[in-house]
Amino acid sequence: MIKISGISVLGLTMTVAINLHFLSQAKVNYSFPNSPFSTTNTSATPSPNKIENPPNTSAANPATQEENEKFQQIIENATAQQLHHKSMPDIIQAIANQFIGTPYQAGLLDKSKAETLVVTLNKFDCVLFVETVLAMARGIAMQDYSYEAFRDRIIEQRYENGELNGYCSRLHYLSGWIDDNQKRGIVENITVTLGGVPLNKQLNFMSTHRQSYPQLVDSEGNYQCILEMEAKLNHLTINYIPTSGIPQIYDRLQPGDIIGVATDIPGLDVTHTGLVYRQIDGNIGLIHASPAGSVRVARDLQQYVGNVKHSVGIIVTRPIDSRI
């Protein structure tokens, strides 16, 4: 989702805050091209060649009693329903349902200067919601019910090559997340199969909005490795389904397909993500951690995407069932 704020008065300055969900959940100032509006920014001087503190790859935020209880409740429900016998789409939707109403909170991955593993079950941003549901569903499918294994799957999905090795090892752009997880057999990008067309984007939002990322402002080393990451990603061809074509693929979507909302904002691929949700009447919606306040279901996928400012369509990625 994109959160626009400010006063729109012809000839005056308007501050536009865009709340990005991939890209470290940063709130940034974005200047619209060919508009009379300017933006404000706070300057900061980076420390030359400063590298962030070495990551503690084994450390994670300790699970609260509430989160432990939530995890156990989901596992108990899964075993009672014998979800491991069901298809991956059914498992994912069953898990996602249990988080409806969970509060939304942005910036959860960036509260610490050093990159540590963040796992939470009682609040989400849109990316954490997708990661959490996918990690739990993968474990349940394999009847692997331990919290430690769940946490390891989060690491596997969130970081390049499945290894937590500092801020730059996090897969900040959805296109990079998809590519890396596809190489390791966790998901499959099916956008082209569904009739996707090239987005024709150069990904450079993080490097061109350095002041919006404390980890980049304070570290020349981090900034340089983000530049390298973006250069690698720009060898990828990013495809998307235009918004007008979304209803035509409804019958080919499955519950749990990962949806990225593609954007026309320069330097960005997506601004929001969620999971395909098939309702009782067969209608295709989206279950997502909404900046409007909590995990909820948008009844119609195309209608939801069409209402997201700067959206142009969707990227579709399908979780792979490792049992098959």
Architecture of domain 42-319: Orthogonal Bundle (1.10)
pLDDT value at 23 more than 80 = no
pLDDT tens digits for range 69-94 = 999 999 999 999 999 999 999 999 99
Q: Where are the domains of the chain?
A: 42-319
* pLDDT of amino acid 59: 52
Query: What distance in Å separates the CA atoms of residue 217 and residue 255, rounded to the nearest whole number?
Result: 40
What's the pLDDT band for 6 if we cut at 50, 70, 90?
very low
pLDDT tens digits for range 177-224 = 999 999 999 999 999 999 999 999 999 999 999 999 999 999 999 999
* pLDDT of amino acid 91: 99
* pLDDT of amino acid 56: 44
pLDDT tens digits for range 219-256 = 999 999 999 999 999 999 999 999 999 999 999 999 99
pTM of this prediction? 0.85
